[in-house]
Amino acid sequence: MSISDLYSSGVHKREIGHFANIVKLALTNSIIAVGEQKLIDEMASKLNITETEYHDILKNPDIYPIAPPLGYEDRIERLYNLAKMVFADSEATDSQIGLLNKITIGLGFSKDHYKAVTAEAIIQTMNASSIEEFSEAIRKVN
C-alpha cells in the first residue's frame, strides 16, 4: 500500500466521521426534517460518501468516531457544516446544542473555550455568515 493510499484512506475515515456527526445532529429529535435531509444529501456528495456508507451511517451514526481533521482551518470548516445542520430545520434544540458542544471538543477545540466556540458558531450561523466571517469569529473566541 502506498503512502497516497494510506493518506486517502485516513481522509475518507475523517469524512465518514464528519458525515456521521452531521447525521447525529439531524437525528437528535428522531426525525430528519426536509431541510436537514437536503443538507445531509449535499454533505454526502461533498464528502464522497458512497451509497452503502450513506445508508449504514443513517442506520447507526453512533458507531463512527469523530476523527478530527489535522488542520485548524479544516476543523473550523467542519464546525461550520455542523452548525448549519443545527439550523437546517430553522430551530436549534437544547439537545442539538449539547451534542454540538461534545463534537466541538472532539474536533480538537480547547476544553477551556468549547462553550464559547459553540455559542459563537450558533451566532454566526443565525446571522448566515460566510465561511470566512465564521472562521474569523471562531478564531477570536478560541
Question: In this predicted structure, what is the pLDDT of residue 141?
Answer: 92
CA 62 to chain CA centroid, Å, is 14
Say how many CA atoms lie within 13 Å of 19 toward its Cβ: 27
φ, ψ for residue 128 (rounded to 5)? Answer: 55, 45
pLDDT digits (tens, 9 = 90+) for 15-37: 999 999 999 999 988 888 898 99
Return the pLDDT at 12.
87
**Do residues 86 and 27 make contact, with C-beta atoms less than 8 angstroms apart?**
no
